[in-house]
Amino acid sequence: MTTTVDDRLSVRTGGLPPELRGFREVQRLSYECAEAVAAQLRPGVTEREAARMQREWLRERGVRDWFHLPFAWFGDRTAFTNFRIPLQFFPTNRKLEPGMPFILDMAPVYQGYTADIGYSGCLGPSPLHDKLLADLEAHRDLLLREVRERRSLREIYEDVERLMVRQGYANRHRAYPFGVIAHKVDRVKERRWSPTAFGFGTQSLKGLASDALHGHREGWSPLWSPYRFSDHPPQPGLWAVEPHLGFRGMGAKFEEILVVTDSKDPEHSAFWLDNDLPHVRRWAEEKAA
Amino acid sequence: MSTRNTGAGSEQTDMGEQAETDERPAPDGRVQADGRAETDERPAPDGRVQADGRAETDERAETDEQAETDGRAETDGRADAVGAVATRTVEPSGIDVGPDEPEETGEFVGATRVEGIAVATSTGWAGTETAGALAGATERWIGTGGVQLCVAELGDRAQPTVVLVHGFPDSKEVWSEVAKRLADRFHVVLYDLRGCGQSSAPKPLRGGYTLEKLTDDFLAVADAVSPDRPVHLVGHDWGSVQGWEFATVKRTEGRIASFTTMSGPCLDHLGMWLRKRAVRPTPRRVGQLFGQGIKSWYVYAFHTPVLPEAMWRGPLAKAWPKLLERVEKTPGRGEPGGDYPTPSLPTDGAHGVWMYRDNVRSRLRRPRTDAYAHVPVQLIHPTGDIFVSEQVFDELELWAPQLTRRSLAAKHWAPRTRPDQISAWIAEFVTTVDEGAAPKEPRATSPYAARFGGQLVLVTGAASGIGRATAFAFAEAGARVVAVDRDTEGAARTAEMARLIGAPQAWGETVDVSDEQAMDKLAHKVAAEYGVVDVLVNNAGIGVSGAFMDTSSEDWQRVLDVNLWGVIHGCRTFGKQMAERGQGGHIVNTASAAAFQPTRMLPAYATSKAAVLMLSECLRAELACKDIGVSAICPGIVNTNITTTTRFVGVDQQEEQRRRTRSTRLYGKRNYPPEKVADAILRAVVRNQAVVPVTPEARGAHLMSRFTPKALRALARLDPKM
């Protein structure tokens, strides 16, 4: 999907184009789900149970297809400690304990619009977790600024990593398949039957594969990685960006959609789809306090 | 205010248990002393001579020894007392033992009451002031079960009371260094066990040392020094063995607030431990039995009749101070803290053996099965203890549910050799318990928390990479961290994060390690504000790559300044402080795998690191006698930002930048995390390892340098395209 100039104009006039509005709605729905599930987390709840809670919450509200099924990580699994194979991402029977950090990550498809979000929290107060969350703000700013500068994705990736190291953290999005910090999302055709393979919706995978094919021909990739195939300026479209910090067995991330357009105006060449999200509100509150 | 008659005191006050056990034949001496003190300046020491007169019937040799001791004590005591007495008004004792001061009267039991100089008069209590190892303490005698116990007190009596119990063959002076350090925050009480130091011995000795009787003694002391509040108990060696008895029997409940144990297991726990291993032997359990069995050789020896006493009164006592100095590395005569053992050593040894004879066999044969501690317990285990193995405490959590573990690189007589660390841990534990919070494991979750909790660790080059990871690892273990770096912001950030993950305190300091004056200044500042460094990590380093012929003398200068001189300055300043303190410590120098792996790519860097390696080895030899360990860490290829600052010589700037980026990506692909190096550093400190290659390639190169140096030299010729 490529946003047109008309779309941007409508951005300027206040409202989002209908298509972006669809994406924003499903992203909001997802964050609502995350907050609802996070509020129900108690000591003893397992990752599997937390994942099931997300799935059921969204199913009840009409979600039938997924970019990927909901994930839940507790404790040091939030920092992907000792992850070697992708199967380790799937929810386990690990139980939540007081003081444990957790991450809920889901990517529902609703009425053909995809969202992919990540929500970090902690069971009980934790100054360290607060610090990690607060330090994510710099990454959100850095990503947007450098995308607007039209730097190569690989370079931006390295800058984010450098900032993390400077902050004292480890780059944990490196653990994702292909080490991606972001990937493209797009509209998905609604089918009566939407199977998943290894946790990923087949329709979405198909979209990603077709993007990869196009990209391969045109010299870009739908995966934003540290590798050479990402050494190109940002491709217009919707990118689900997920910087993920790790610090000694504690991880924190956010994930939300960054809209990249082909506009010449830097303001509109890239923007976050929605600024009314839990982590953004949290930062604003911290600043106000 | 003045001296007080013992008899009057015990009649008019509510002594509780004390009064029951107190059938005092002793007051004879005391009364006389008091009588005299009322008219002139003779305090307790006289009483002691009297008491010894009693002891005369007991054993000849003892009297001689004792008289000698007392003679000394008397002179000292008198000298002080004169000063004290000169200013005081003497009143008949009955007057201030009035009913208007009931809380006060309960505080002293059957001893002289002389206004000492160091004691706050507001508390209304005083004893004789002592000199020698416990200078400044006030001493008095407490009668219980037919013996007179010599009790010394330091510090403000309004503060929480900490009772220090000594072991065998010791007297209360074994705690003198620790007591001094605790006295500014706590009311510190020490007493000589029956028959040790200046306390009188039970008659007969056989059967006079059962744990039950020792418990009576403790309760008498506790009631006398802190009648209203429970006391914090600290025991070393046999003081700890009986401490376990105090902390686990019913009748002391409410009298003890916490228990810190060192080098002395509970005999009942030990009995169960032995039984468990004997009944269901596995190879490991047999090994543990055997290990502790050998460490306990002297226990069997003490069950021989007569001979041990003869040895203690004869050659052993004579040889003991030298033996302690050589084997246990306690401070020698003339050094600070070298005023130990006291002259009472022969009787301490000769009487003390009865603790073994009266308790060991019976308790090990029939251990109590209900010996659960009813107070929070802090276990301080000196890892170099040659009498008690660590496995004895393996399942201690079963017996002491609120257990805090500490381990200390020290030998058995740690109260003499490590007073700073021990008093710090006691103070922390007592404060935590007193504040009502359930004493938790240190916030830190690291497996090294027992070893590094509360220690001061200084890391150079702590703004990034291995230095930062090391600072964090120590912080996680509960150490106080000083993060030093040229990069102010980075060092501050390291300190900030360190505080969040468990460091009780952390500071960032901006210093260039190659600057000698700045390092001197830092060392002074750290010593003045934070204390003497326990673990020093000289980690700061920079990289230079390129052919020897292309390396300019400035490049050489720079790399040697930071990599070698930085380490030298660190060792000279902080290492010197450590050595002067004389309580051990550890220095870690970050060398490199390049120190033993020659390569044509890194002539300058490898040279500097080889120098660091050799420096560490030499320093290790030199500081071994000071109990300071030195380790050289040789990491290998680790994913840090050293590559982004490395100087590539012999190429233009653009090429240099390209090589930096390329080597950074290569190191990133290798992706060996600095956290693993930090872990190796902590392990090296715990195990006192000399040279530690970390990554597999570093370990391989280390092996090759020893067994196939030619192959390594062949590898050195490789010149990979960058």
Interval B154-189: pLDDT, tens: 999 999 999 999 998 999 999 999 999 999 999 999
Residue of A nearest to B466 (CA): A168
Report pLDDT for B591: 96
In this prediction, residues A198-213 reach a mean pLDDT of 89
Report pLDDT for A108: 94
- Bridge partners, residue B492, by sequence: none
Q: Which of A80, A97, A159, A165 to substitute to test the interface with B, most B CBs within 10 Å?
A: A165
Cross-chain CB nearest to A248 (options B493, B494, B501)? B501
Q: How many residues does chain A have?
A: 289
Which uninterrupted H or E stretch holds B284? helix B283-295
In this prediction, residues B403-425 reach a mean pLDDT of 93
Kindly report the nearest CA distance between residue A265 and chain B, in angstroms: 32
Contact B494 A167 (CB under 8 A): no
Contact in structure between A241 and A180 (CB atoms under 8 Å):
no
Dihedral class, residue B333 (left if φ above 0, else alpha if ψ from -120 to 50, else beta):
beta
Q: Shortest CA distance to A185 belongs to which of A263, A271, A132, A259?
A: A259
- Bridge partners, residue A223, by sequence: A183
Cross-chain CB nearest to B500 (options A127, A165, A170)? A127
Residues of chain A in contact with residue B493, where contact means CB-CB under 8 angstroms, are 166-168
Q: Where does the pLDDT of residue B45 fall: very low under 50, low under 70, confident under 90, or very high at 90 and above?
A: very low
φ, ψ at B460 (rounded to 5°): -95, 155
Q: Where does the pLDDT of residue B523 fall: very low under 50, low under 70, confident under 90, or very high at 90 and above?
A: very high
pLDDT tops 80 at residue B108: no
Cross-chain CB nearest to A131 (options B464, B476, B500)? B500
Cross-chain CB nearest to B494 (options A168, A226, A247)? A168
CATH number at residue A96: 3.90.230.10
Contact in structure between B406 and B425 (CB atoms under 8 Å):
yes
Structure tokens at B454: 């509360």
Contact A165 B641 (CB under 8 A): yes
Whole-model pTM: value is 0.82
Report pLDDT for B665: 86
Contact A168 B641 (CB under 8 A): no
How far apart are alpha carbons A262 and B363 in whole angstroms?
86
Residues of chain A in contact with residue B494, where contact means CB-CB under 8 angstroms, are 168
Contact A170 B468 (CB under 8 A): no
In the three-class reduction of DSSP (H, G, I as helix; E, B as strand; rest coil), residue B547 is classed as: coil
Contact B641 A170 (CB under 8 A): no
φ, ψ at B265 (rounded to 5°): -80, 165
Structure tokens at A45: 């709840």
Residues of chain B in contact with residue A170, where contact means CB-CB under 8 angstroms, are 673
Residues of chain A in contact with residue B675, where contact means CB-CB under 8 angstroms, are 248
For B608-667, what is each residue's pLDDT tens digit?
A: 999 999 999 999 999 999 999 999 999 999 998 888 889 999 899 999 999 998 898 888
Where is pLDDT greater, at A159 or B99? Answer: A159
Contact in structure between B571 and B615 (CB atoms under 8 Å):
yes
Contact A128 B501 (CB under 8 A): yes
Report pLDDT for B436: 74
Cross-chain CB nearest to B476 (options A167, A170, A248)? A248
How far apart are alpha carbons B430 and B161 in whole angstroms?
9
Residues of chain B in contact with residue A131, where contact means CB-CB under 8 angstroms, are 497, 500
Q: How far is CA A149 from CA A159, A236, A259, A265, A267, in A?
A: 13, 13, 14, 11, 10
Q: At what angle do helices B27-39 and B44-56 cross, to 10 degrees?
A: 150
Residues of chain B in contact with residue A128, where contact means CB-CB under 8 angstroms, are 500-501
Q: Which of B497, B642, B679 to substitute to test the interface with A, most A CBs within 10 Å?
A: B497
Report pLDDT for B80: 39
Dihedral class, residue B251 (left if φ above 0, else alpha if ψ from -120 to 50, else beta):
alpha
Contact in structure between B92 and B377 (CB atoms under 8 Å):
no
For B591-603, what is each residue's pLDDT tens digit?
A: 999 999 999 999 9
Q: How far is CA A192 from CA A113, A189, A205, in A?
A: 15, 10, 17
CA atoms lying within 13 Å on the CB side of residue B637: 14
Kindly report the nearest CA distance between residue A17 and chain B, in angstroms: 41
Write out the catalytic residue numbers of B.
605
Residues of chain B in contact with residue A165, where contact means CB-CB under 8 angstroms, are 464, 641
How far apart are alpha carbons B195 and B352 in whole angstroms?
7
Contact in structure between B81 and B114 (CB atoms under 8 Å):
yes
How far apart are alpha carbons A109 and A112 in whole angstroms?
6
Residue of A nearest to B675 (CA): A248
Residues of chain B in contact with residue A166, where contact means CB-CB under 8 angstroms, are 464, 490, 493
In the three-class reduction of DSSP (H, G, I as helix; E, B as strand; rest coil), residue B317 is classed as: helix
Where helices occur in chain A by DSSP H, the ranges are: 5-12, 18-40, 47-60, 127-148, 153-167, 202-218, 266-269, 278-288
Contact A168 B497 (CB under 8 A): yes
Kindly report the nearest CA distance between residue B603 and chain A, in angstroms: 29
Residue of B nearest to A128 (CA): B500
Cross-chain CB nearest to A168 (options B476, B493, B673)? B493
How far apart are alpha carbons A48 and A75 in whole angstroms?
14
Residues of chain B in contact with residue A226, where contact means CB-CB under 8 angstroms, are 668
ipTM (interface predicted TM): 0.89
Where is pLDDT greater, at B674 or A1? Answer: B674
Residues of chain A in contact with residue B472, where contact means CB-CB under 8 angstroms, are 168, 248
CB pairs under 8 A between A and B: 24
Residues of chain B in contact with residue A248, where contact means CB-CB under 8 angstroms, are 472, 476, 501, 675
For B668-691, what is each residue's pLDDT tens digit?
A: 888 899 999 999 999 999 999 999
A interface with B, Cβ–Cβ < 8 A, is: 127-128, 131, 165-168, 170, 226, 247-248
Cross-chain CB nearest to B468 (options A127, A128, A168)? A168
For A147-194, what is each residue's pLDDT tens digit?
A: 999 999 999 999 999 999 999 999 999 999 899 999 999 998 888 888
In this prediction, residues B61-79 reach a mean pLDDT of 40
% of chain B surpassing 70 pLDDT: 81
- Bridge partners, residue B162, by sequence: B188, B232
Contact A170 B500 (CB under 8 A): no
Q: Shortest CA distance to B432 belongs to which of B261, B262, B258?
A: B258
Contact A165 B493 (CB under 8 A): no
Kindly report the nearest CA distance between residue A22 and chain B, in angstroms: 40
Residues of chain A in contact with residue B464, where contact means CB-CB under 8 angstroms, are 165-166
Kindly report the nearest CA distance between residue B643 and chain A, in angstroms: 13
Contact in structure between B163 and B189 (CB atoms under 8 Å):
yes
Mean pLDDT of the residues in chain B: 83
Residue of B nearest to A162 (CA): B641
Q: How many residues does chain B have?
A: 722
Q: Domains of chain B, with CATH numbers?
A: 1-150 (no CATH), 160-441 (3.40.50.1820), 449-642+673-715 (3.40.50.720)
Q: Which of B500, B641, B660, B679 to substitute to test the interface with A, most A CBs within 10 Å?
A: B500
Kindly report the nearest CA distance between residue A174 and chain B, in angstroms: 11
Cross-chain CB nearest to B493 (options A167, A170, A247)? A167
% of chain B surpassing 90 pLDDT: 67
B interface with A, Cβ–Cβ < 8 A, is: 464, 468, 472, 476, 490, 493-494, 497, 500-501, 641, 668, 673, 675
Count other Cβ atoms within 10 Å, centred on residue B365: 9
DSSP structural state of residue A46: B
Report pLDDT for B46: 39
Contact B472 A170 (CB under 8 A): no
Residues 6+ apart with CB under 8 A from B20: none
Residue of B nearest to A129 (CA): B500
Report pLDDT for B167: 93
For A106-137, what is each residue's pLDDT tens digit?
A: 999 999 999 999 999 999 999 999 999 999 99
Count structural domains, chain A. Answer: 1
Handedness of CA B352, B355, B360, B362 (dihedral sign): positive
How far apart are alpha carbons B462 and B468 in whole angstroms?
4
In this prediction, residues A46-60 reach a mean pLDDT of 96
Pairing outcome for strands B187-191 and A237-241: unpaired
Report pLDDT for B443: 59
φ, ψ at B630 (rounded to 5°): -130, 130
pLDDT tops 80 at residue B15: no
Count other Cβ atoms within 10 Å, centred on residue A151: 16
Structure tokens at A215: 């990209």
Full domain range(s) for residue A103: 5-288
How far apart are alpha carbons B478 and B89 in whole angstroms?
52
Kindly report the nearest CA distance between residue B497 and chain A, in angstroms: 8
pLDDT tops 80 at residue B303: yes
Residue of A nearest to B644 (CA): A162
